[in-house]
Amino acid sequence: MRQHFLFAIGVILALACSASFARGIACKAPHGMPAARLLLFGELHGATESPALVGRIVCAIAESGPVALGLELPVTEQEPIDRYLASDGAPSAEKRLLSGRFWLGGDGRSSRAMFDLIRYVRKLKQHGLPVAVFTLVPATLGNTADDNQDISRAIRTFHRDHPRMRIVVLMGNLHAGQAKISPFGTMITPAGYLLRDLHPASIQITHPAGTIWACTDSCGTHHVSGRSKSRKSGFYNDAPIQGYSMAYMLPSITASPPAGLAVKQHPAAIDRR
């Protein structure tokens, strides 16, 4: 009887490994990833590495059940994103999504890395993993406080309507924390603070010195100073910004320009990385 039981377990494990291998997807969670059903990642917009990290985490969670990725993008992008996720991923489908005004630039949320994250989710869905994407902010952005209200409302509504799904959200680091802050002299109530009753884990994405794409005095690549220089890449149970219970240290931070620029400058070609 014991032999039959062990054989059955072996068959189940073999089938699981074979399915993962057949998908061609490597879903390895970073060591120390929190187990909360709602993960709020606060990033510095316009970098390559943050969306890539979140993609790995979404993939790992999807191996064990349904997961939704919340992105700090205008709700007007929801339909184009859904259309792209349901497409065959051909260059024409990518061009259709990236030809919208949003993807030409702004504050880094329209980066090539952000589009690569959406493209990665399409790949996960294509290989049978239960992944969804939802957008968080209204088409007309208000001030930071208004954005936090809207972001928290969008997350809460999705959570209410999809109670069985884990949720991973990538947004600016002034949104994901669970404490009121005043970095610019005005008190801000982050979306994470407004969602405390859902018991989220707030993770600040930290980094060494590097670059981001942003619009400050000018739009383009800008240098950013590093934090926690002695730390290796990975999760830590503290964070530089108040309201975060954890941090993830990136190995590097490099600028990611707007995804739509390549389409505008070279309409006939899209990088197939």
Q: Give the residues across from 205 on adjacent strands.
A: 248
Q: What is the pLDDT of residue 119?
A: 98
- Percent above pLDDT 70 for the chain: 83
Plot region of 31 (φ>0 → left; ψ -120 to 50 → alpha; else → beta): beta
Number of neighbouring beta carbons within 10 Å of residue 187 = 10
Rounded CA-CA distance 30/34 in Å is 10
Task: Give the residue among 175, 228, 180 at the shortest CA–CA distance from 42.
Answer: 175
Task: Among 8-12, 99-103, 236-240, 252-256, name the one with the lowest average pLDDT.
Answer: 8-12
Average pLDDT, the chain: 86
> Of all residues in the chain, what percent are helix, strand and coil, respectively (each to 5)?
40, 20, 40
Confidence of residue 26 (pLDDT cuts 50, 70, 90): low
Amino acid at 36: A
Q: What is the pLDDT of residue 22?
A: 35
Confidence of residue 110 (pLDDT cuts 50, 70, 90): very high
Q: What is the pLDDT of residue 273?
A: 41
Give me the domains of the chain, ranges plus CATH numbers: 34-265 (3.40.50)
Rounded CA-CA distance 221/215 in Å is 9
Q: The tokens 């509504």 sit on which residue? A: 157
- Tokens representing 102? 């949003």
Mean pLDDT of 81-89: 97
More confident of the two residues 174 and 28: 174
The tens digit of pLDDT for each residue in 228-256 reads: 667 899 999 999 999 999 999 999 999 99
- Computed from CA positions of residues 183, 189, 194, 196, in that sequence, does the dihedral angle turn out positive or negative? positive
More confident of the two residues 58 and 20: 58
The tens digit of pLDDT for each residue in 135-192 reads: 999 876 544 556 999 999 999 999 999 999 999 999 999 999 999 998 888 899 999 9
- Computed from CA positions of residues 6, 11, 16, 18, in that sequence, does the dihedral angle turn out positive or negative? positive
Mean pLDDT of 27-33: 87
